């Protein structure tokens, strides 16, 4: 992973672009900030709409979640009861492989008959056999790629901080809109804000200038105190 260059001697917040030369749009803006733990709810629209993470693809869903993302195996088994891979329900996460560019949607238990039918390995899973994921090991190659993750309901608050802390890639326009709509309480709670390793502040980000010439943002959010996965509900 390429590390951000340290900015030496920066004593005050400065705008990201100080020259007339436009940055390469294909290079994501690297934005980092620290917020209180309860502020994770602000990022719910991004977590539900989907974000990209770099991963070693060609592995199973279980390996991706547990070995690569570091999510506890028991939590995955008992808490993430509904999974969709490229819009198809996942029943066998140990053998279902994730391709480069795939979309993986995660949810905890959903109510009603629909929720019971979509539940991984549930009693009603046979009713959706025709749309469930099937093993396609011969068509999927292992390698470094990207996966789009979507989080729903309680998982946004529980797993959101883990992914945001690792760093996610989102559309620049989507993030700019989210920050512009955020309230003063959230903006004043953010600190240790940097854009491409240069100190900045929320006022500059809310104006949107740093996002104008970028297509994507590599967003890292650190929470104080760090969020922990629940144990009582497992």
* pLDDT at residue 16, rounded to an integer: 46
Q: Is 190 helix (H, G, I), strand (E, B) or coil?
A: coil
pLDDT of residue 109 exceeding 50, the answer is yes
Question: Does the pLDDT at position 166 exceed 70?
Answer: yes
DSSP-derived letter for residue 60 is B
Give the model confidence (pLDDT) of 121-133 as tens digits: 554 455 455 545 5
H helix runs in the chain, sequence order: 44-49, 61-62, 73-79, 112-118, 155-166, 172-181, 184-189, 202-207
pLDDT at position 15, please? Answer: 47
Read out DSSP for 73-137?
HHHHHHH--EEEETTEE-S-TTT-B--TT-EEEEE----HHHHHHHSTT-TTGGGGGGGS----G
**Alpha-carbon torsion 76, 81, 87, 90, what sign?**
positive
Identify whether the C-beta of residue 59 lies closer than 8 Å to the C-beta of residue 102.
no
pLDDT tens digits along 48-97: 999 999 999 999 999 999 999 999 999 999 999 999 999 898 888 998 99
Domain boundaries, the chain: 29-224
pLDDT for res 40: 95
Reported as a pLDDT band with limits 50, 70 and 90, residue 115 is low
User: What does the DSSP 8-state code read for residue 3?
Assistant: P
* Alpha-carbon gap, residue 100 to 145, rounded angstroms: 5
Q: What is the pTM of this model?
A: 0.81
- Of 26-30, 47-51, 127-131, 210-214, the range with the lowest mean pLDDT is 127-131
pLDDT at site 228: 72
Contact 158/230 with Cβ under 8 angstroms?
A: yes
Average pLDDT over residues 221-228: 85
Res 7 pLDDT > 50: no
Report which secondary-structure segment, H or E, holds 216.
strand 216-224
């Amino acid at each position: 992973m390429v590390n951000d260059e340290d900015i030496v001697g920066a004593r005050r917040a400065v705008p990201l672009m100080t020259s007339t030369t436009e940055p390469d749009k294909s290079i994501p803006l690297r934005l980092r900030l620290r917020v209180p733990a309860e502020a994770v709810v602000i990022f719910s629209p991004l977590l539900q709409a989907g974000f990209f993470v770099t991963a070693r693809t060609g592995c199973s869903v279980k390996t991706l979640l547990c070995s690569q993302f570091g999510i506890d195996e028991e939590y995955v088994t008992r808490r993430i009861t509904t999974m969709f891979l490229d819009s198809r329900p996942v029943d066998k996460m140990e053998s279902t492989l994730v391709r480069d560019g795939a979309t993986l949607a995660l949810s905890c238990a959903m109510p009603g008959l629909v929720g019971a039918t979509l539940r991984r390995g549930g009693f009603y899973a046979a009713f959706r056999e025709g749309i469930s994921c099937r093993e396609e090991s011969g068509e999927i190659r292992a390698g470094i790629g990207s996966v789009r993750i979507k989080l729903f309901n309680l998982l946004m608050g529980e797993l959101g901080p883990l992914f945001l802390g690792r760093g996610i890639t989102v559309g620049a326009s989507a993030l700019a809109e989210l920050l512009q709509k955020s309230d003063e309480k959230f903006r004043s709670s953010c600190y240790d804000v940097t854009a491409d390793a240069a100190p900045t502040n929320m006022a500059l980000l809310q104006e949107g200038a740093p996002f104008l010439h970028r297509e994507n943002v590599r967003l890292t959010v650190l929470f104080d105190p760090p969020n922990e996965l629940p144990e009582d509900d497992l």
